[in-house]
Amino acid sequence: MVVAVKDNGDIAMSYAKEYQQSIQNPEAFWREKARQLPWFTAPATILSNDEHGIERWFADGEMNTSYMALDHHVEQGHGERIALIYDSPVSGAKRQYTYVQLRDEVAKFAGVLAGKGIGKGDRVVIYMPMIPEAAIAMLAVARLGAIHSVVFGGFAAPELAVRIDDATPKLVISASCGIEVNRVIPYKPLLDKALEEASHKPKGCIIIQRAQCPAELEAGRDHDYQTLMNNALPAKPVSVKGTDPLYILYTSGTTGKPKGVVRDNGGHAVALHYSMHAIYGMQSGEVFWAASDVGWVVGHSYIVYGPLLKGCTTVMYEGKPIMTPDAGAFWRMVEEYKINALFAAPTAFRAIKKNDPEGALIKAYDLSSLRTIFMAGERLDPPTYEWTCEKTHKPVVDHWWQTETGWAICANPVGLETFKVKPGSSTKPTPGFNVQILGDEGLPLGANVQGAIAIKLPMPPSCLPTVWGNHERFVDGYLRQYPGYYTSGDGGYIDEDGYLFVMGRTDDVINVAGHRLSTGEMEEIVAGHPSVAECCVIGVQDELKGQLPIGLVLLKDGAKIDQQQLQTELVQRVRSEIGPIACFQTALIAQRLPKTRSGKILRKLLRQIADGQSYSIPSTIDDPDSINEIAELLRTNGLIQAQAS
pLDDT digits (tens, 9 = 90+) for 21-64: 999 999 999 999 999 999 999 999 999 999 999 999 999 999 99
Please state, as a whole number, how many other Cβ atoms lie within 10 Å of the Cβ of residue 263: 26
CB 127 within 8 Å of CB 111:
no
Report pLDDT for 253.
59
Q: Could you give the domains of the chain? A: 513-636 (3.30.300.30)
The strand pairing partners of 179, in sequence order, are 184
In three-state secondary structure terms, 533 is strand
CB 332 within 8 Å of CB 87:
no
Give Cα separations from 617 to 269, 451, 538, 605 (angstroms): 49, 21, 18, 8
The length of the chain is: 645
* Backbone phi and psi for residue 629, each to the nearest 5 degrees, phi listed first: -65, -45
83-126: per-residue pLDDT in tens? 999 999 999 999 999 999 999 999 999 999 999 999 999 999 99
Report pLDDT for 645.
34
CB 330 within 8 Å of CB 344:
yes
Per-residue pLDDT at 369 exceeds 60: yes
Please state, as a whole number, how many other Cβ atoms lie within 10 Å of the Cβ of residue 639: 17
Per-residue pLDDT band for 163 (boundaries 50, 70, 90) equals very high
Please name which of 175, 252, 289, 346 lies closest in space to residue 581, comparing C-alpha atoms: 252
* Mean pLDDT of all residues in 132-154: 97
Per-residue pLDDT at 319 exceeds 70: yes
CB 428 within 8 Å of CB 435:
no
254-283: per-residue pLDDT in tens? 555 789 999 999 999 999 999 999 999 999
pLDDT over 70 percentage in the chain:
94
Which one-letter DSSP state was computed for residue 151? E
In three-state secondary structure terms, 97 is strand
In three-state secondary structure terms, 84 is strand
Per-residue pLDDT at 577 exceeds 50: yes
Contacts of 446 (CB under 8 A, 6+ apart): none
CB 268 within 8 Å of CB 300:
no
Measured CA to CA, the distance from residue 432 to residue 520 in angstroms comes to 33
CA angle at 428 for the pair 485 and 254, rounded to the nearest 5°: 45
* Backbone phi and psi for residue 511, each to the nearest 5 degrees, phi listed first: -120, 105
Measured CA to CA, the distance from residue 517 to residue 541 in angstroms comes to 14
CB 371 within 8 Å of CB 281:
yes
DSSP strand pairing (586-589 vs 546-555): parallel
Report pLDDT for 508.
67
Which of 430-439, 528-537, 601-610 shows the lowest per-residue confidence on average (mean pLDDT)? 601-610
Does 594 or 142 have the greater pLDDT score? 142
Per-residue pLDDT band for 9 (boundaries 50, 70, 90) equals very low
* Strand ranges inside 306-401, DSSP E: 313-317, 341-344, 372-375, 396-398, 400-401
Does 622 or 166 have the greater pLDDT score? 166
pLDDT over 90 percentage in the chain:
72
Per-residue pLDDT band for 11 (boundaries 50, 70, 90) equals very low
Please name which of 551, 546, 592 lies closest in space to residue 572, comparing C-alpha atoms: 551
Contacts of 591 (CB under 8 A, 6+ apart): 554, 626, 629
Please provide the average confidence, as pLDDT, over all residues in the chain: 91
